[in-house]
Homo-oligomer: A and B are copies of this chain.
Amino acid sequence: MQDSQMDNAPLPATNASNVLSVDAMGGDKGPATVVAGLSKFLGKNPDAQVILHGPESELAPLLAKHKITGRVAIHDAAEVVKMTDKPKDAFRKGAATSMWSAIAAVRSGDASVCVSCGNTGALMLMSTIRLRKTDGVNRPAIACLWPSRNPAGFNVMLDAGADISADQDDLLTYALMGASYARNGLDIARPRVGLLNVGTEDHKGRAELKVAHEMIAAAADAGGFDYIGFVEGGDLPTDKVDVIVTDGFTGNVALKTGEGTASLIGDLLRESLLKTPLSMLGALLARGSLKRLQKRIDPRRVNGGVFLGLNQTVIKSHGSSDATGVAAALHLAYRLAQNGFSEKLAARVASVAALAQDVPHDAGTDKPGTKTG
């Protein structure tokens, strides 16, 4: 088992909440980029330690190049899950892969949060099977951060694509998990939760949304959040909501649409400014401001889809992340690790699960309350 195999010097005795488990392989840019990001991260977090998973022969020279010693232990894992592997095929490769090894280290308690740039589907499948779902969670979700006008600079949206559907019980669970994540990941004491719909009036939308609307409202106090009701796509980047709850199909389309729109506008802005000498000069003078804007909406800064609803926390860093993106995902992981996020989330879901069974299910479905959520 990779779990117990420490090929490097063992880490100094420590609290596991300071230790991250990092899959060095499987991203589009390879382990050199992951180690470069790791180096940035360690430089800013003197107490952090990392278990790094991948072929030792590749990783040891990279660590040496960045002069990283003592705070990183390598778990040797020869196989890599490829971006093109189907989840089930990746799972069959199993224990020999760096992804499996990275998950095993949080399963065993050696580390508290796992980070990987690899294949999302494979990571979700392996994580779900190896870490198991938190009691009361039927469908785990991926939460992403969304640039917004909020003071924190971001909203949380979930599910961003772990599952292609969600019923009323799942949506309630997403509300609880998203609020817990906003508290622990973004420092928002009492998050405002909204349910994504095609209009804000109570009578709009699909049947399961109307039921979830009632259930989430009833769970707000126990969940430690304010429920603001239905929100629309246009509310995603605003400051009226902190956590946006939706099914994984809609969430994934919204996320990619937002990214695509931002990318189109960025390209058009560049083309437009390069069109005349006068505007090129103007762009040069406004360079500082344009860079600040670029940084504000830089997708690398919001890197890290967080898998919620498993017994330990797993973060999916974007496959094409550069060193800055990897470092951002590690910072997020470290913050969640230090906050004891996995345990807090489990407690919150458990405390509301009982409550949810008492909520009246009379708002438009004929298959009410068949699960405990």
Contacts and interface: CB of A to CB of B under 8 A. Distances in A.
A251 to B, nearest CB: 9
B285 A260 contact: no
A9 interface: no
A92 interface: no
Interface string A243-265: 00010111011111111111111
A258 B256 contact: no
Contacts of A267: 149
A134 to B, nearest CB: 24
A151 interface: no
Interface string A127-164: 00000000000000000000111000000000001001
Contact of A286 (B206, B257, B283, B296): B283
A279 B286 contact: yes
Interface in A262-299: 262-265, 267-269, 272-273, 275-276, 278-279, 281-290, 292-293, 296-297
Given A261-B261, A278-B286, A286-B278, A268 B297 contact: yes
A233 interface: yes
Given A265-B265, A268-B297, A289-B273, A256 B232 contact: yes
A351 interface: no
A263 B261 CA distance: 10
Contact of A293 (B161, B272, B285): B272
A196 interface: yes
A234 B262 contact: no
Given A234-B256, A285-B278, A206 B249 contact: yes
A246 B252 CA distance: 14
A264 B148 contact: yes
A358 interface: no
Nearest to A254: B257
Interface residues of A, number: 58
A31 to B, nearest CB: 26
A259 B267 CA distance: 17
A258 to B, nearest CB: 5
Contacts of A293: 265, 268-269, 272
A290 to B, nearest CB: 7
A237 B260 contact: yes
B238 A260 contact: yes
Contacts of A296: 268, 272
A295 to B, nearest CB: 10
Nearest to A149: B264
A85 interface: no
A196 to B, nearest CB: 6
Contacts of A259: 233-234
A248 B198 contact: yes
A272 B285 contact: no
Given A198-B164, A206-B164, A290-B272, A235 B252 contact: no
11 contacts: A232-B256, A237-B260, A237-B263, A246-B253, A253-B254, A257-B257, A261-B262, A279-B290, A282-B282, A282-B285, A282-B289
Interface of A: 147-149, 161, 164-165, 196, 198, 205-206, 232-238, 246, 248-250, 252-265, 267-269, 272-273, 275-276, 278-279, 281-290, 292-293, 296-297
Complex A-B, nearest 5 residue pairs according to Cβ-Cβ distance, in ascending order:
A282-B286, A233-B256, A282-B285, A233-B257, A279-B289
